Amino acid sequence: AMAIAATISAPLTSPTRRTLAAVNTLFPHSSRSTLPTPQRAFKYPNSRLVASSMSTDAPVKTSSASFIHRGEAGFLHFAKYHGIGNDFILIDNRDSSEPRVSPEKAVELCDRNFGVGADGVIFVLPGINGTDYTMRIFNSDGSEPEMCGNGVRCFAKFVSQLENLHGRHSFTIHTGAGLIIPEVLEDGNVRVDMGEPILKASEVPTKIPANKDIAVVKSELVVDGVIWHVTCVSMGNPHCITFSREGSQNLLVDEVNLAEIGPKFEHHEVFPARTNTEFVQVLSNSHLKMRVWERGAGATLACGTGACATVVAAVLEGRAGRKCTVDLSGGPLHIEWREEDNHVYMTGPADVVFYGSLTL
């Protein structure tokens, strides 16, 4: 059983000015709760989330790190972060090489009606193979992706808080996609060396035959009876990027029905490991607009690896340059695919939302 007592002790970063009232929801009853049992029947009728009221104008407390470090028996403290709307539950797992929350519990925690609400749960584990830390993530459906671009920026800011780091600094992270190196900048943004994109079709992986050397570039793919033009890129996790379909050489991404078409791409037979799918509109040679259907999470406000894969695809298709601003539903990311080292660099924000406690 798991209960949650969530104490909000940091400001929400949404521009909307409002006050959070105390709320009751889910998970098995916590003795720390003081609110009456809800009268309506929930999926987990004996559970609840307790959130203290706060204003979004409240300053960040410098003592917030001590909340995460508290060592009460039976409690697991967490932080909620978001990277331009792609949100995660961050757990300090540095004392163990195995995640302290199971994939099944992660699904419960990510539920936006009966849980904390998130696109995934991220664990800060001890480093391996000479790295400073290891990052693992469970998606909201319980699956485990190789990497997450917005998640790794949140990971970096969380580690900075745990280690009380200030100023400009970087560290190495072992992920399922290999070595990732984030750098926290003076302005609070995080620049991440995402490594080299993988273009070989069998390593993306995709069963679409390569048509440009070893890569799949602007190939035809029939999805739901429509011919789409797709480019396939892996940033350690698979991506299918499309800028056009039959009869329309430039997508208007706001007109794409993600909920309808996204799952059909994700589960298409040509993607043996499923795929993330980016629908992209070219605004200029250095400005792209992207909507994403994420493997294991569905429609999200942002996808960092997807933004990186999109710029790579735009260069391969001759649609944009190597330095682009990518507008996502949650905000912009700045992506550069450097010619000199073939690495992709992603720069963007990561912001804390609140802190809470899990009763295990």
| Residues noted as catalytic | 148, 303
* Cα distance between residue 286 and residue 263, in whole Å: 29
Q: Enumerate residues 6+ apart whose C-beta is below 8 A from 143.
A: 103, 295, 296
At 40, give phi and psi (nearest 5°). -85, 160
* Cα distance between residue 334 and residue 324, in whole Å: 6
Compute the chain's Rg from CA coordinates: 21
- Residues 233, 239: contact at Cβ < 8 Å? yes
Enter the DSSP assignment of 37: P
Enter the DSSP assignment of 255: G
- Residues 258, 242: contact at Cβ < 8 Å? no
- Residues 196, 155: contact at Cβ < 8 Å? no
- Residues 306, 290: contact at Cβ < 8 Å? yes
